[in-house]
């Protein structure tokens, strides 16, 4: 009986051990970041416009959104959007990273961070 238990444990470890360290485990789980496949989606644009608008209100700036370069989402109590975007500050075009937390069922959005990307 002990030999059968060892054989079963060995077999199960061969089957499940690779799954523990696979990339499939890392994608689309609660708390992890997943790439946004369609950054031209109107909702992504709405989140980016919200981020720039909130930043302008909070900092008395006058940035104008040019485009979203890339983005990721994170499932939390709602969704975090981490967007890299181009915005104009007068004639100067700069790259920023914005994080917005959204709870659509409450019609709630919050700008968590808005930072200039260096380099």
Could you tell me which residues come within 8 angstroms of residue 112 by beta carbon, excluding any fewer than 6 positions away?
80, 99, 100, 101
Q: What is the CATH number of domain 29-116?
A: 3.10.450.10
Going from N- to C-terminal start, the domains of the chain cover 29-116
Q: Cα torsion at 52, 75, 84, 49 (round to 10°)? A: -20
pLDDT score, position 31:
76
Q: Rounded CA gap, 109 and 111, in Å? A: 7
pLDDT of the chain, 119 residues: tens digit per residue: 566 656 655 554 544 444 334 333 334 556 799 999 999 999 999 999 999 999 999 999 999 999 999 999 999 999 999 999 999 999 999 999 999 999 999 999 999 999 999 87
């Amino acid at each position: 009986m002990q030999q059968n238990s060892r054989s079963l444990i060995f077999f199960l470890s061969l089957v499940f051990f690779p799954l523990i360290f696979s990339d499939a485990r890392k994608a689309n789980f609660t708390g992890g970041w997943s790439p946004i496949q369609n950054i031209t989606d109107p909702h992504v644009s709405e989140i980016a416009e919200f981020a720039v608008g909130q930043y302008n209100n909070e900092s008395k700036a006058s940035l104008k959104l040019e485009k979203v370069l890339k983005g990721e989402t994170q499932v939390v109590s709602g969704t975090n959007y981490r967007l890299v975007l181009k915005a104009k500050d007068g004639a100067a075009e700069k790259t920023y990273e914005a994080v917005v937390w959204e709870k659509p069922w409450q019609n709630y959005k919050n700008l968590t961070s808005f930072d200039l990307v260096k380099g």
